[in-house]
Structure 1
Amino acid sequence: MPQCNFCSDSFFKVNALITHLKIIHRCEEYGVFVCGEKECHRHFPCLKTFRKHLKSHESLSNSQMVSSNDSLSNFSTVSNINEACYMSVNCSPSLSNSINETSLIESRVFIRDAAFNEFKEKMTENNINFICDLYSEKTLCRKDVQKIIEKVTVLLLDPLNMFKNNLGNILKNHSVSESDKFEINKYFVELENIFEGFHSEYLRFAHLENLGVFIKPLEFTVGERLEKNKNGILITKKYTAQFISLKNVLQSFFSLSNVLSETLQYLKYLKTQKIILNIVQTENWKNKISNFKCSDIVLPLFLYYDDYEIGNPLGSHSGIHKIGAIYYSVACLPPSVQSRLDNIFIGMLFHSSDLKEFGEKIMFSKLVDELNTLSKKGISVAINNTNVHIYFCVALFCGDNLALNSLFGFQESFVANSFCRLCKSWKSDTQKDVVENIFLLRNKTNYSSDLLINNAYLTGIRFNPILNNIELFHVTENYSVDITHDIFEGVGNYIMSYLLFEFIIVSKFFSIDILNTRLKYFEFDSGHNKPPLITIENVKNKHLRMSAAEMKCFILNAGLIFGDLIPEGNKFWRLYTLLRKILEIVLSDFVMPDMYVKLGELVREHHFLYKQLFGNLKPKFHFMVHYPLVLKKCGPLGKISTIRYEAKHRNSKLSGNVVASRVNISYTLAIKHQLQLGNRLLRKSELCTDNEIPTCQKNHRVHDIVPDFDNVVKNSALLIKDETIPNRFLQFVAKVKRVTVKNKVFKMQDVFSFNIENRTFGYLELIIVNRDNQICFIFEEMEVLSFNEHCFSLHLNNTKKRKSLFLDDNLVINIHKIQLKDNKNFISLF
Structure 2
Amino acid sequence: MDDAEEAGVEPTVLEEPPVRATTSCAAHDTVGDHSEMFSSGCSSNMINTECDAVSVPTARVTTINDFVLKIKKQLCLLFFRVAEVHKLPHSTAESVFNDFKITFLDIIRTFASVIENNIAMESAGIELRKLLAGEFLEDIFQAASSKYKREQFAKRHLPYVKPEVRDLGAGETFQFVPISGVMRNLMSSENFRDHIELDFSTGAPSPTLHNFRDGCIYKEKLHALLEDGAQYTLFFVLYSDEVEIVNPLGSKRGVHKILVVYFSVVNIHAKYRSQLSSIHVVLVAPYRLVIKHGINVILKPVVDDVSALWMTGFTLWKNSVAVKVRAILVAFSGDNLSMNRLGGFTCSFSRGRPCRFCTSPNSAFNTAFHESDVQVRNLPLHQNHVASAKINRQLGTALYGVKDESPLTDVAYFDVTVQLPPDLMHDVLEGAIPHVLRHILQGLLRSGVIRHSDLDRIRTFVFGAHDKKNKPEEVVKSFLNGQSAYKGTASQKWCLFRFFSLMFADIVPKQNEHWEVYLLLRSIADITFADKIPHDHLAYLQDEIRFFLSSFAALYPGAIIPKLHFLIHYPRLISELGPLKQYWCMRYEAKHQYMKTIAQRNQNFRNICKSIAERHQLLQSFEFSNLEVDRGIQTKRSRQLKLEDLCSYMRKVVSPGIPVWEVGSAEVENLVFKKFDVVILEKQQLPLFGQIRRLYIYCGSLFLLVDVLMTVRFDRHRWSYVVDNTDEQKLVQPFNLPSPQVLDLYFGAELMLRPEIMIVE
TM-score range (shorter-chain normalised) is 0.7 to 0.9
Q: Does 1:214 align with 2:160?
A: yes
d(CA) in 1 for partners of 2:655, 2:233: 37
Aligned to 1:136: 84
Give 1:444-593 correspondences, 5 Å limit.
Answer: 444-454=379-389, 455-504=396-445, 506-517=446-457, 519-524=459-464, 526-527=466-467, 529-541=470-482, 543-593=485-535
Decide whether the 8 Å contact of 1:754 with 1:813 is kept in 2.
Answer: no
d(CA) in 2 for partners of 1:809, 1:303: 33
Q: Deviations over 1:512-542 (max 9, x none)?
A: 4443245423224615611022334433447
Aligned to 2:701: 774
Give the CA deviation at 1:572: 0.7
Counterpart pick for 2:370 among 423, 435, 439: 435
Aligned to 1:49: none
d(CA) in 2 for partners of 1:488, 1:733: 43
The verdict on how the C-alpha distance between 1:385 and 1:343 changes in structure 2, with shifts beyond 3 A counting, is farther
The verdict on how the C-alpha distance between 1:160 and 1:264 changes in structure 2, with shifts beyond 3 A counting, is closer
Give 1:595-606 correspondences, 5 Å limit.
Answer: 595-606=537-548
d(CA) in 2 for partners of 1:729, 1:332: 41
Runs of 5+ in structure 1 lacking a partner? Answer: 1-112, 225-236, 714-725
d(CA) in 2 for partners of 1:538, 1:474: 39
Give the CA deviation at 1:426: 1.8
Amino acid at match of 1:467: L
The verdict on how the C-alpha distance between 1:792 and 1:370 changes in structure 2, with shifts beyond 3 A counting, is same
d(CA) in 2 for partners of 1:636, 1:765: 34
Give 1:344-493 correspondences, 5 Å limit.
Answer: 344-382=279-317, 387-437=322-372, 440-454=375-389, 455-493=396-434
Amino acid at match of 1:803: K
SS in structure 1 of the partner of residue 249 of structure 2: coil
SS in structure 1 of the partner of residue 137 of structure 2: helix
Q: Deviations over 1:569-607 (max 9, x none)?
A: 211111101111111101111010111111111110110
Aligned to 2:669: 742
Counterpart pick for 1:626 among 569, 582, 593: 569
Counterpart pick for 1:608 among 550, 553, 556: 550
Counterpart pick for 2:660 among 726, 733, 740: 733
d(CA) in 1 for partners of 2:128, 2:187: 46
Amino acid at match of 1:610: F
Give the CA deviation at 1:344: 0.4
Aligned to 2:135: 189
Amino acid at match of 2:162: K
Give the CA deviation at 1:727: 7.1
Decide whether the 8 Å contact of 1:304 with 1:399 is kept in 2.
Answer: yes
Counterpart pick for 1:124 among 47, 72, 80: 72
Q: Deviations over 1:527-561 (max 9, x none)?
A: 56110223344334474323211111101111111
Decide whether the 8 Å contact of 2:175 with 2:610 is kept in 1.
Answer: yes
Decide whether the 8 Å contact of 2:680 with 2:738 is kept in 1.
Answer: no
d(CA) in 1 for partners of 2:340, 2:690: 46
Give the CA deviation at 1:207: 1.7
d(CA) in 1 for partners of 2:111, 2:733: 58
More off after superposition, 201-210 vs 150-159: 150-159
Aligned to 1:806: 733
Give the CA deviation at 1:205: 1.0
SS in structure 1 of the partner of residue 456 of structure 2: helix
Aligned to 1:796: 723
The verdict on how the C-alpha distance between 1:743 and 1:265 changes in structure 2, with shifts beyond 3 A counting, is farther
Amino acid at match of 1:204: R
Amino acid at match of 2:399: L
d(CA) in 1 for partners of 2:331, 2:411: 12
Decide whether the 8 Å contact of 2:660 with 2:698 is kept in 1.
Answer: yes
Aligned sequence identity (%): 22
Give the CA deviation at 1:491: 1.4
d(CA) in 1 for partners of 2:738, 2:128: 62
SS in structure 2 of the partner of residue 456 of structure 1: helix
Give the CA deviation at 1:438: 7.3
Q: Deviations over 1:484-519 (max 9, x none)?
A: 111111111111112223334x23434444432454
d(CA) in 1 for partners of 2:277, 2:450: 45
Give the CA deviation at 1:629: 0.9
Decide whether the 8 Å contact of 2:239 with 2:332 is kept in 1.
Answer: yes
d(CA) in 2 for partners of 1:808, 1:182: 51
Q: Does 1:290 align with 2:219?
A: no
Decide whether the 8 Å contact of 2:360 with 2:374 is kept in 1.
Answer: no
d(CA) in 2 for partners of 1:738, 1:326: 37
Q: Does 1:706 align with 2:647?
A: yes
d(CA) in 2 for partners of 1:587, 1:519: 26
Give the CA deviation at 1:757: 5.7
Give the CA deviation at 1:456: 1.4
SS in structure 1 of the partner of residue 302 of structure 2: helix
Give the CA deviation at 1:654: 0.2
Higher relative contact order, chain-length normalized (CA < 8 Å, sep 6+): 2
The verdict on how the C-alpha distance between 1:765 and 1:164 changes in structure 2, with shifts beyond 3 A counting, is closer
Give the CA deviation at 1:784: 1.8
Q: Deviations over 1:47-101 (max 9, x none)?
A: xxxxxxxxxxxxxxxxxxxxxxxxxxxxxxxxxxxxxxxxxxxxxxxxxxxxxxx
More off after superposition, 635-644 vs 258-267: 258-267
More off after superposition, 383-392 vs 733-742: 383-392
The verdict on how the C-alpha distance between 1:369 and 1:519 changes in structure 2, with shifts beyond 3 A counting, is same
The verdict on how the C-alpha distance between 1:782 and 1:383 changes in structure 2, with shifts beyond 3 A counting, is farther
Q: Deviations over 1:211-255 (max 9, x none)?
A: 242211000112x3xxxxxxxxxxxx3211111011110111122
Decide whether the 8 Å contact of 1:138 with 1:655 is kept in 2.
Answer: no
Aligned to 1:275: 208
Counterpart pick for 2:175 among 242, 248, 257: 242
Aligned to 1:670: 613
Amino acid at match of 1:815: V
RMSD: 3.3
d(CA) in 2 for partners of 1:709, 1:809: 16
Aligned to 2:238: 303
Q: Does 1:655 align with 2:598?
A: yes
d(CA) in 1 for partners of 2:752, 2:245: 40
Decide whether the 8 Å contact of 2:333 with 2:585 is kept in 1.
Answer: yes
SS in structure 2 of the partner of residue 692 of structure 1: strand
TM-score, L = length of structure 2: 0.82
Counterpart pick for 1:787 among 709, 714, 717: 714
d(CA) in 1 for partners of 2:124, 2:270: 63
Q: Deviations over 1:3-28 (max 9, x none)?
A: xxxxxxxxxxxxxxxxxxxxxxxxxx
d(CA) in 2 for partners of 1:124, 1:353: 42
Give the CA deviation at 1:117: 2.7
Give the CA deviation at 1:827: 3.7
d(CA) in 1 for partners of 2:635, 2:108: 42
Amino acid at match of 2:492: E
Amino acid at match of 1:667: K
Give the CA deviation at 1:123: 1.9
More off after superposition, 569-578 vs 261-270: 261-270
d(CA) in 2 for partners of 1:123, 1:501: 66
Runs of 5+ in structure 2 lacking a partner? Answer: 1-60, 390-395, 756-761
SS in structure 2 of the partner of residue 389 of structure 1: strand
Amino acid at match of 2:589: E
d(CA) in 2 for partners of 1:154, 1:765: 50
TM-score, L = length of structure 1: 0.76
SS in structure 2 of the partner of residue 612 of structure 1: helix
SS in structure 1 of the partner of residue 693 of structure 2: strand
Give 1:55-66 correspondences, 5 Å limit.
Answer: none
The verdict on how the C-alpha distance between 1:462 and 1:165 changes in structure 2, with shifts beyond 3 A counting, is same
SS in structure 1 of the partner of residue 724 of structure 2: strand
Aligned to 1:685: 627
